[in-house]
Every structure is written in structure tokens, then in C-alpha cells.
Amino acid sequence: MIEEDFYATIKLKTGEEIFCIAAAIEEEDRTLLIISNPIVVSELKAKSNVVGYKVEPWLKTTTENMFIIKLDDVLTLSESSDIEMVELHQSYLRQMDKMSNNYSKLTKEMGYVSSVDDAKKTLENLYNNY
């Protein structure tokens, strides 16, 4: 059974603190968290005492946006009703959506698609016949 989604701040036993949309699910004899679009927020202070925030994806080497965490790996979890954090998260998602829509899909009109062996033969022929 999956509980309703909620915004959450999660502190993992590893020390990582993430903000995400979460839902709890009971599976056999354990509770799992399904988290969506987890972010890490860092506070940045300038010399003039101006405070800003840096928002980054929790995992930087994947394009996935949903993850499963065992509740045993969670130190603490708090449902968040902080409007500023929710808006920051939504703004991040809109920005990521814009960036992903700006990437062009590869088509044959962009150039010749071949295997490495075919390209090697073509280049060798061009070199030898020049």
C-alpha cells in the first residue's frame, strides 16, 4: 500500500540531507520510501552577508528521478510545509524540464550514422585514395 505523496526533508544515516517528494510503501516486513526528484540545498554566503542557495540534484551521475530508500537507512524524516522550500524545489524542476526540452534529438538529417568498423573503412578509403 502506497501512502499519499508529500514534500519531505530526509536526513540519511550517511549524513546527506535531501529535499524531495516522498511516499511510503509497505513491502513484506519492511517500509520503503519512494522519493522523487531529490535535491540537495546548500546555503551560500557572500562577503557582503548576502545569503543565497545552491540547488543540485542528489545524484549527479544519473538521469533517473525516482529512487527507493529503505527506511532503515533514514536517520530522520520530516514532512515539509515550508513554502519557500517547496517553491525552490518546483523552480528547480521547471528549470530541469526546460533544459531537457532544449536538447535536440539525433536524426539522420544531422549526419551519417554508422558503426565504428564502417566509419574506419570509409576513412581508410578516403586516406588511401587521396
Q: Indicate which CATH number applies to the domain containing 85.
A: 2.30.30.100
| Share above pLDDT 70 across residues of the chain, in percent, rounded to a whole number | 88
Asked if residue 16 lies in contact with residue 4, where contact means CB atoms within 8 angstroms, the answer is no
Domain count, the chain: 1
Quote the pLDDT of residue 2.
59
| Share above pLDDT 90 across residues of the chain, in percent, rounded to a whole number | 42
Instruction: Examine residue 127 and state whether it is found in any structural domain, yes or no.
Output: no
Residue type, 31: T
Q: Is the pLDDT of residue 110 over 80?
A: no
Q: Is the pLDDT of residue 130 over 80?
A: no
Q: Is the pLDDT of residue 101 over 90?
A: no
Q: Distance of alpha carbon 9 from its chain centroid, rounded?
A: 16
Mean pLDDT along residues 16-40: 92
Q: Is the pLDDT of residue 57 over 80?
A: yes
Quote the pLDDT of residue 113.
66
Question: What average pLDDT does the chain have?
Answer: 86
Instruction: Examine residue 74 and state whether it is found in any structural domain, yes or no.
Output: yes
Domain containing residue 43: 6-102
**pLDDT tens digits, 39-48:** 999 888 888 8
